[in-house]
Amino acid sequence: MEEEDERYRAPALDKGLDILELLAGIDGSLTQTEIAKALQRTPNEFYRMLDRLVRRGYVTRTDGDRYALTLKLFGLAQLHAPVRRLVAYAMPLMREFAQRSRQANQLAVFDRGSVVVVAQQEAPDYWGISIRVGSHVGLFNTGSGHVLLAFSTPEERRLMIAENRRGEEDKPLPAELLARFGQIRERGYEMMPSMQTAGVHNLSAPVLASDGRVIAALTCPYISLLAPDAPDIDRTIAMLLETTGQLSSLAGFGIGSPKGVA
């Protein structure tokens, strides 16, 4: 049996997987020499493999000659069973939120440098802003992107930004944007004028794991409705936070409503 297994070996693939598994098991980065030593190989054996992993986005090169795992594998995993399960739990709550608020809403996750809409619910009445499932929206200029960045750890945020700004990783973000992330975490949600559509305010709140890690962002592109019984923006925010709290609990992530408007 062992001889048959050896006959079907793919040495290059094994080498790449060895690197990914090694980097996944450490906190930080390693040099090419350190990788070779840990895997009991010579440094030259890993030069081309590391170059390909960097070019394909699975590994990032930091501090000159150090290598660290990116979030690409995490993003690939997000597109499969975990996201389908999250969407299955989310859709009934998103429909209920749309009915109560009379606003559209969408659920988005971070995937390989982009913010991707994985579920959307249209407004129940004539007017509303909807975004197609599968759409990629901005990381730095949308409520969804701000929430995903704000509730990530500093290291996760650094990797997210690096994946999004491939080739411009060292370009610093504006100080006011970094300060805004702290404000979003403090109040538990983002509220900002849409940078794509006039008259729309993006209301975004996180779906969080029990350890505080952000899984997704639920966003309502709020428009002011003239109907006398339509909820105002403060009430809509409260409904949004209630919905994300319920979604986190129903999905088995074990948290209550985020801090913010009650």
What would the two tokens of residue 115 be? 């913010």
Q: How far is 67 from 18, CA to CA, in rounded Å?
A: 14
CATH of 75-250, one of 3.40.640.10, 3.30.450.40, 3.30.390.30, 3.50.50.60: 3.30.450.40
Q: Whose CA is closest to 74, among 216, 188, 173, 206? A: 216
| pLDDT score recorded for residue 121 | 94
Give the domain ranges of the chain: 2-69, 75-250
What would the two tokens of residue 204 be? 């975004």
Q: How far is 203 from 104, CA to CA, in rounded Å?
A: 11
Q: How far is 138 from 67, CA to CA, in rounded Å?
A: 27
Record the pTM: 0.67
Angle at 155 between CA 150 and CA 158, to 5 degrees: 70
pLDDT in tens, 189-248: 999 998 888 788 999 999 987 777 799 999 999 998 878 888 999 999 999 999 999 988
Same fold? 2-69, 75-250: no
Mean of per-residue pLDDT scores for the chain: 84
pLDDT at 182 over 90: yes
pLDDT in tens, 56-107: 888 888 877 889 888 777 666 655 566 778 888 899 999 999 999 999 999 9
pLDDT tier at 150, thresholds 50, 70, 90: very high
Give helix then strand counts, H and E, for the chain: 10, 9
* CATH fold label, 2-69: Arc Repressor Mutant, subunit A (1.10.10)
Q: Which residue has the higher pLDDT, 170 or 112?
A: 112
pLDDT at 111 over 80: yes
| pLDDT score recorded for residue 262 | 34
